[in-house]
Structure 1
Amino acid sequence: MKIRTIILCSAAFLLTGCASEFNRVIKSSDYDYRYEYAKQSFAEGKFTRAEILLQDLITLKKGTDEAEESLYMLGMSQYMNRDYESAAATFKKYFSSYPRGFYAEQAMFYVGQSLFESAPEPRLDQTPTIGAINAYQQFMDLFPYSELRSKAQDRLVELQDKLVMKELLSAELYYNLGGYFGNINDNSESNYNSSIIVAQNALKTYPYSNYREDFACLIMKSKFQLAQNSSADKKLERYQDAEDECYGFLNEYPESKNRELAEKFIEKCKKITKD
C-alpha cells in the first residue's frame, strides 16, 4: 500500500513538474527556447503541446526557416491530433506560402490525406470526399515522381468507391421505395424511373467500377417493376423494354447470382409481349 502511494505521489509530482515547465515555456520571451521546446515536444509525440506553441511561432518566426518548419509541424500536429479540417487548412497554407519549400511535397500530400481521413460514410454528403480526390490528383500532377504517388493512387481508388457506393445506395433507395407514394402515371417521375436514371448515370460516370453488376441488376429490376405498374397504354412497350434489359443483363453477366431472377422476369415478360 505504501509503495502504491509513493508511486502515485511520484507520478503526480512529475506531471505537476511537466505542467509547470510547459507554462514557463509558454510565458517565455525567448522564442528560440520556445521553438526548440516545440520541436522536442513534436519529436516525443506530445502533439497538443507542440500545436499550442507552434500556433504562435509561425508568426513570431515569420521570415525565417524556423517559421516554415513550424508551419509544417503545426499541420502534422493537428493531423496527429485528428483535427483533420485544421490540418488540411494548414497544409494548404504551407504550400501556398512555400510552394518550393522543403516540405512542399509532403504538405500537398497531407492536404489530400487530411481530407481523406475526414471523408464521411457513403450515405452522407460527400463534399470532403470530392475535395480529397481533387487534392490527391493535384498532388500527383505537381509531383509525378513522388514516392507517395502509389499511396495517393490507392487512396483515390478508395474515395472513388465511396462515391460509387453513394450512388448505389441512392439507386437502391429509389427502388425500395417503389410506388410507395402512389401509382405511376405518364406525367410523373416514378421511384423506379429514378432508380434507373441514377444507376445508368453511375455506369457512365464510373465505367470501371466493381459495382457494375449491382447497377445493371437494379436497372433490370426497376424496368420490370415499372412495366408491372404501368398504365395499360404503356404496359406493352415497357414489358418489351424490360425483356430486352433482362437479355442484356444475361449476356453481360452469364454467371451472375441473379441469373435465375432475370430468367424469371423474361418468362413473365413473354406472357405479356406474345399475347
Structure 2
Amino acid sequence: MLKKQRILTASALIAVSLMFGSCKSDYEKLKASNDVAKKYREAVKYYNKKDYNKALDLFDDLTQRYRGKAEAEDLFYYYAYTNYKLKDYTSAGYHFKNFAENYPSSTRAEECRYMAAYCSYLDSPNYQLDQTNSSKAIEQLQLFINLYPKSERVADASKLIQNLRNKLEEKSYADARLYYDIGDYLSAVMAFNNSLRDYPDTKYAEEMEFMMIKAQYLYARNSLYYKQEDRYNQAISYADQFTEKYPNSKYLREAASYRKISDQGIKQAKVLVAEASVDSKVAKKLAKKDTTTGQPQSVVGKQNERSPQNQ
C-alpha cells in the first residue's frame, strides 16, 4: 500500500512538472516562431491578462517585423502602453511620441501626444534633484495644449504644468538657500534675486527678499574694508525696499537691525580706509581681510555683530 502511494505521488509530481514544462516550452516556442500573426494575437492576450512582461517580449520582437504594415498602428499603440504599464516611463514616453509623429491622422494621436508628455511628468524627480525632466515635461505638456487647445485633456495638462512649476520653484528656493547655508553669500544674493525674477508670485517671496538683506550684509562684512561701503549700501537698499514692500512683515524688526548695523559698518569702514591711507601697517592688516564667506549668524540680539569693529 505504501509503495503504491509513493508511485502515485511520484506520478503526480511528474505530471505537474510536465505541465509547467509544457507551458514554458509553448511560450518559448512562440517567441521563436515566425508566425507573426499568432505571435501578435498571443501578445495581445498576454497584455489583456496583465502579463505585461511576456507581452513586451513578444511586442518587442514584432516591432521590426510589422514596420510599414497596416497592422503596425495597433502594434505600436500596444507597445507604448505595455512599457507604460511596466512603469518604464522613459521608454513609454519615447514610443508614445513616436506614435503621435508617425500616425498624426490617427484617432489615437492626441491621446499618445498627451501620454508622451504625461510620461515625462511621471519621470520628473524629487525637487532636490536635477529638474531637466521637469522642464522637458512642461515643454511637452505645453506643446500638447498648443496642438489640441479644445481637448478635454487640456485642463489636466494645465494642472500638471502647475505642479511641475511648483517643483521648479521649490528647487530654485532650495538652491538659493543652500548658497546661504554654506556661506557663499554673493551667490546666495544672486540666486535669491534670480528666483524672485523667475517666480515673482512664489510663496517664498517675502522670506527670500529678507534673506537677500542678510546675505548681502554678511557678504559686505566679510569683504575688504575698502569694498565694504558699496556692499553695505546695497544691504541698506534691500532693507529699505523690503520695509516699503512688507510693512507688516514678521521680519521687519530684524530687517531694520541689519540696516542699522550696515550703516554702522559703512562708518567704521570709512574710518579704517582713511587710517590705511596714511598708515602702511594698517593698510597691510586690512588687505588680509577678504573672505566674503563665513557661516551665517543672526545679527539680532548678538552683540558681536552689532559693529564690524568687533570682528
Q: Confirm or deny a common fold (TM above 0.5).
A: yes
Map of 2:259 onto structure 1: 266
Q: CA deviation at 1:127?
A: 2.0
Write the letter of the residue equivalent to 1:216.
Answer: E
Q: Is the contact made by 2:228 and 2:266 (CA closer than 8 Å) also made in structure 1? A: no
> How many angstroms apart in 2 are the aligned matches of 1:14 and 1:150?
51
Q: CA deviation at 1:104?
A: 1.0
In structure 2, which of residues 89, 111, 120 is the aligned counterpart of residue 115 of structure 1?
A: 120
Q: Is the contact made by 2:221 and 2:265 (CA closer than 8 Å) also made in structure 1? A: no
Map of 2:93 onto structure 1: 88
Asked if residue 248 in structure 1 is aligned to residue 253 in structure 2, the reply is no
In structure 2, which of residues 104, 108, 112 is the aligned counterpart of residue 103 of structure 1?
A: 108
- Corresponding residue SS for 1:208: coil
In structure 2, which of residues 18, 31, 37 is the aligned counterpart of residue 26 of structure 1?
A: 31
Q: Deviations over 1:89-135 (max 9, x none)?
A: 21222122111223211211122222222223333332222211111
> How many angstroms apart in 2 are the aligned matches of 1:259 and 1:13?
81
Q: CA deviation at 1:239?
A: 2.5
> How many angstroms apart in 1 are the aligned matches of 2:18 and 2:257?
77
Q: Is the contact made by 1:171 and 1:218 (CA closer than 8 Å) also made in structure 2? A: no
Asked if residue 194 in structure 1 is aligned to residue 206 in structure 2, the reply is no
Q: CA deviation at 1:18?
A: 4.7
Map of 1:183 onto structure 2: none
> How many angstroms apart in 2 are the aligned matches of 1:14 and 1:208?
65
Higher RCO, 1 vs 2 (CA within 8 Å, ≥6 residues apart) = 2
Write the letter of the residue equivalent to 2:241.
Answer: G
Max Rg structure = 2
- Name the CA shift for 1:83/1:15 in 2 (closer, same or farther; >3 Å): farther
In structure 2, which of residues 42, 48, 61 is the aligned counterpart of residue 37 of structure 1?
A: 42
Q: CA deviation at 1:159?
A: 1.7
Q: Deviations over 1:45-74 (max 9, x none)?
A: 221111111112233233344311111211
> How many angstroms apart in 2 are the aligned matches of 1:129 and 1:45?
29
Q: CA deviation at 1:15?
A: 6.0
Map of 2:276 onto structure 1: none
Write the letter of the residue equivalent to 2:114.
Answer: F
> How many angstroms apart in 2 are the aligned matches of 1:40 and 1:257?
63
In structure 1, which of residues 233, 239, 261 is the aligned counterpart of residue 232 of structure 2?
A: 239
Asked if residue 170 in structure 1 is aligned to residue 163 in structure 2, the reply is no
- Name the CA shift for 1:251/1:16 in 2 (closer, same or farther; >3 Å): farther
Map of 1:220 onto structure 2: 213
> How many angstroms apart in 2 are the aligned matches of 1:249 and 1:84?
45
Q: CA deviation at 1:257?
A: 4.1
Write the letter of the residue equivalent to 2:262.
Answer: C
Compute the TM-score of the two structures, normalised by the length of structure 2: 0.72
Map of 1:140 onto structure 2: 145
Q: CA RMSD in A?
A: 2.7
Any unmatched runs of 5+ in structure 1?
179-190
Write the letter of the residue equivalent to 2:111.
Answer: Q
- Name the CA shift for 1:99/1:263 in 2 (closer, same or farther; >3 Å): same
> How many angstroms apart in 1 are the aligned matches of 2:248 and 2:88?
46
Write the letter of the residue equivalent to 1:232.
Answer: Y
Q: Is the contact made by 2:169 and 2:199 (CA closer than 8 Å) also made in structure 1? A: yes
Asked if residue 204 in structure 1 is aligned to residue 209 in structure 2, the reply is no
Write the letter of the residue equivalent to 1:134.
Answer: E
Q: Is the contact made by 2:232 and 2:262 (CA closer than 8 Å) also made in structure 1? A: yes
- Name the CA shift for 1:109/1:16 in 2 (closer, same or farther; >3 Å): farther
- Name the CA shift for 1:243/1:37 in 2 (closer, same or farther; >3 Å): same
Compute the TM-score of the two structures, normalised by the length of structure 1: 0.81
> How many angstroms apart in 2 are the aligned matches of 1:264 and 1:11?
83
> How many angstroms apart in 2 are the aligned matches of 1:14 and 1:202?
64
In structure 1, which of residues 41, 49, 67 is the aligned counterpart of residue 72 of structure 2?
A: 67
Q: Is the contact made by 1:91 and 1:108 (CA closer than 8 Å) also made in structure 2? A: yes
